[in-house]
Amino acid sequence: MSPFLDVERQGRLLGITLNRPEKRNALDREMCESIVEACESAEADNSIGAIYWRSIGPVFCSGMDLDEACSPDAVELTAIHGRLFSLGARLTKPIVCAVQGPALAGGLGLVANAHVAIAVHGTTFGLTEIRIGMWPFAIYRAVELALGSRRTLELTLSSKIFNTPEALAWGLVQEVVPPFELEERGEAIAVALANAPADTVRQGMGFVHQSRSLDAASAMSLALATRAENFKSLDFEEGVKAFREKRAPRWPSHH
């Protein structure tokens, strides 16, 4: 486990904190590997319902560690970046991201890979790779899914820095809060998702991932087949029963 990453359990929630503030939380290979390992382990653990990303320091994440990227071993980064920046498209456990301070290049890639993102007023974002002669290849697909095709291309070509009102309007983040509310609000969102019916979330997230590559007719066929499985689930049975009895559900998939 990277010394620059803090991983902790809180009930059904797995918290992952970037803790390399002296380097603007730049992602070195060990950090990338540790994030991937923690998230993939959470995906396989039924006692974990959601993952919560956050950071320590004035910068959320400045992207990859350029010292490492310029080293003779840089080619080894390719595989781990492929795994890291596809987490949002692979995991069926929801990822919540709390952003305070700039999220640039690979940092923006992390935000785009989260399924729900919340940011502090004044946070800035940018695809700044072209300024140093790079293209954001590894994160491009995730950002494109979050922001749309034309906007992602324009932001990549211009390397323009944008702020929280734009991030909110464009759908990169779902909420913008004052600094003193970020931790409480972000954790509340993450805990709520962690406590949702696990089998239903898994089925739903799996459908979302699979349907993105399908045509409309195939996506509908998949939707109806997945719904039929959902109707047979113990979570659905308990949810309907709890609704009729006017009580909080006790999800079988949590046990």
Number of domains, the chain: 2
The answer to whether residues 144 and 102 belong to one domain is yes
Which tens digits make up the pLDDT trace of 237-251?
Answer: 999 999 999 999 999
> What are the structure tokens assigned to 120, written together?
């502090």
Please tell me the predicted confidence (pLDDT) of residue 204: 98
Q: Are residues 46 and 103 in the same domain?
A: yes
User: Of 90, 89, 103, 99, nearest to 136 (Cα)?
Assistant: 103
Q: pLDDT by residue (tens digit) across 144-164?
A: 999 999 999 999 999 999 999
Q: What is the pLDDT of residue 251?
A: 97
Residues 162 and 245 occupy one common structural domain: no
List Cβ neighbours of 62 (8 Å cut-off, separation of 6 or more): 23, 24, 25, 26, 102, 104, 105, 107
Same domain, 114 and 189: yes
Statement to judge: residues 188 and 208 lie in one domain: no
Give the pLDDT band of residue 68 (cuts 50, 70, 90).
Answer: confident
Task: Say if residue 115 is in the same domain as residue 222.
Answer: no
Mean pLDDT of 200-205: 97
Asked if residue 136 and residue 187 are part of one domain, the reply reads yes
* Number of Cβ atoms within 10 Å of the Cβ of 106: 25
pLDDT by residue (tens digit) across 17-59?
Answer: 999 999 999 999 999 999 999 999 999 999 999 999 999 999 9
Range of the domain at 180: 5-194
Per-residue pLDDT, 81: 94
Give the pLDDT confidence of 76-113 residue by residue, as tens digits: 788 999 999 999 999 999 999 999 999 999 999 999 99
Of 152, 173, 194, which residue sits at a domain end? Answer: 194
Same domain assignment for residues 220 and 123: no
**pLDDT of amino acid 72:** 66
Q: Specify whether 38 is located in the same domain as 143.
A: yes
Q: What is the CATH number of the domain that holds 91?
A: 3.90.226.10
Domain boundary among 194, 227, 246: 194
Give yes or no: residues 111 and 228 share one domain: no
Q: How far is CA 75 from the centre of its chain?
A: 25
CATH number of the domain within which 233 lies: 1.10.12.10
Please check whether residues 76 and 100 belong to one and the same domain.
yes
Q: Are residues 88 and 210 in the same domain?
A: no
The predicted structure's pLDDT at residue 77: 83
